[in-house]
Amino acid sequence: MCQSSTCSSERIWFTSLKVSDGFYLRFEDGKAYQGYAPPNTGITTSNEDYAQFRYCADCGQIQGDFPAQRPEENSY
């Protein structure tokens, strides 16, 4: 069973949202990305039609490989 990387809880939930080309992500500098879900952001898999991630139902921490990569600037 998976454990939270933050609090060691075993209550890890998986969510999958079909976003197709309606994915939107705003960055700390105010710039935004819109389109298909970009890979390497910590919230997607290899299928760009879905935003998918696991999170801890106790502490709320998103689980995965971080730090995340920002999508290429020419894709904004």
Would you write out the chain's pLDDT as a tens digit for each of its 76 residues?
Answer: 678 888 999 999 999 989 888 888 899 999 998 888 887 787 776 678 888 889 999 999 998 888 888 887 655 5
Tell me whether residue 58 is in a domain. yes
Tell me whether residue 3 is in a domain. no
Q: What pTM was computed for the model?
A: 0.71
Tell me whether residue 20 is in a domain. yes
Tell me whether residue 1 is in a domain. no
Range of the domain at 58: 12-71
Residue 61, number of CB atoms within 10 A of its CB:
15
What's the domain count of the chain?
1
Tell me whether residue 27 is in a domain. yes
73 — phi, psi (to 5°)? -60, -30
